[in-house]
Chains A and B, each alone.
Chain A
Amino acid sequence: MAEKKQSKKNFYLQIIKDGIIFKNPTFIQLLGMCPTLAVTTSVSNGIGMGLSATFVLIFSNFFISLLRKFIPAKIRIASYIVIIAGFVTVVEMVVKAYMQSLAESLGLFIPLIVVNCIILARAESFASKNEPLASALDGLATGLGFTLALTVISAIRELLGNGTLLGFNVMGENFSPALLIILPAGGFLVLGFLIALVQYIMQKGKGEK
């Protein structure tokens, strides 16, 4: 009995570690590249996008897992999309009503969370096969991994491309920002370097074991 409890605990711990680090949706699985490149021009956008997606992930994973025996395999993708789109629309309305400045800066990218492949990927590969609680936890962990990745990318891009962090000027008067980093090409460059760095660290970790 105690052993079972222990293994369950390990399972949950593994979900959290996988979602945030070992199977990080952005750096390891390379999912959701469009929002990753598009909204990471400022830290507040990155965090806002990450948390909105996290909210959708938790709820869509939970409900898809809850309904996993009810949803027939043939129409599962259609059902998932309807459920995901529902929660995204909820996020959009709530953000518009109570977080106006975030709604303005993210604009179009909030409704586009519907087609964010991270959410569909977690629904298909995790929520449809696991218990609701574990699925919600997986949604939270994957969402936090996504948020973490967006925050790191956007911090680098905002700092180098605009000389600010969270809107505060931190580089001083004489710093002339490299506009390229804010532009789309800079997004690809920063992402590429970060993926390389993560791979390097992962390989090194493996080698030492």
Chain B
Amino acid sequence: MSNQANKQSLDMSLPVKLVIIVSAVVLMLAVVNGLTSEKIASNEAEKSNSARKEIFTDATGFSLVNFQLTKEEEKSVSEIYAAEGSGEDLLGYCISVVGSGFGGDISLIVGVNLDGSVMGVQVISHTETPGIGSVALDKDGALLSQFVGASISEVQGVSAVSGATYSSAGVMEGVSVALEVAGRLLKEGY
């Protein structure tokens, strides 16, 4: 009898102890998150900003564009920025898109000219295999440079990097969606 009671009290201590451990870990994470979250967010914003500047080197400012996207496009397109020159004239659009690679999402910023061709492609973040899939996403690498000047019909003709077929396809998919959106943007004259 007493043995049984003993067992019961022992079992009750397990969840309590686990809760104590989890709470302590959560507290630690909350503190570290408080210390780093701002820095991480500003790092990311900084990165997108400098990526846009790298595509449109002449631009003096970027402004967020509110554009009605279709349901399908909403899944991959997150932000559209208009690049403005010194006289507030439109230079083109920077479209943030997501393509699906081998290891997950690849986020890109695609710069589109006023004639609907690609100005430049910048990779913001990805989870491709380091040293294998990531080779396709190298800045100034074989893949990204092929897109420069390509129109929507030419994107499919870009050749993938060997060993990184999925990652290359993910980038192509992202660029095609961005060009489609940009085509409608330009037609409707935003």
Interface residues of A (CB under 8 A from B): 38-39, 41-42, 45, 67, 70-72, 74-75, 78-79, 82-83, 85-86, 89-90, 93-94, 96-98, 100, 104-109, 179, 182-184
Contact = CB atoms under 8 A, between A and B. Distances in A.
9 interchain residue pairs of minimum CB distance: A41-B131, A86-B25, A97-B39, A97-B36, A93-B36, A108-B127, A107-B127, A90-B32, A97-B40
Given A78-B18, A179-B163, A90 B29 contact: yes
Contact of B163 (A74, A100, A183): A183
B18 A79 contact: yes
Interface of B: 10, 13-14, 17-18, 21-22, 25-26, 28-29, 32-33, 36-37, 39-40, 43, 47, 103-104, 125-132, 134, 163
A86 B29 contact: yes
A45 B131 contact: yes
B63 to A, nearest CB: 26
A107 B14 contact: no
A86 B132 CA distance: 29
A149 B88 CA distance: 56
Nearest to A105: B130
A58 B36 CA distance: 21
A72 B14 contact: yes
A72 B13 contact: yes
Contacts of B132: 41, 182-184
Given A39-B130, A75-B14, A93-B36, 8 more contacts: A78-B18, A82-B22, A83-B25, A86-B26, A89-B29, A104-B126, A107-B103, A184-B132
A98 B32 CA distance: 13
A96 B21 contact: no
A125 to B, nearest CB: 20
Residue among B21, B128, B131 facing the most chain A CB atoms (10 A cut-off): B131
A75 B50 CA distance: 48
Residue among B13, B104, B126, B134 facing the most chain A CB atoms (10 A cut-off): B134
Nearest to B162: A179
A90 B17 CA distance: 22
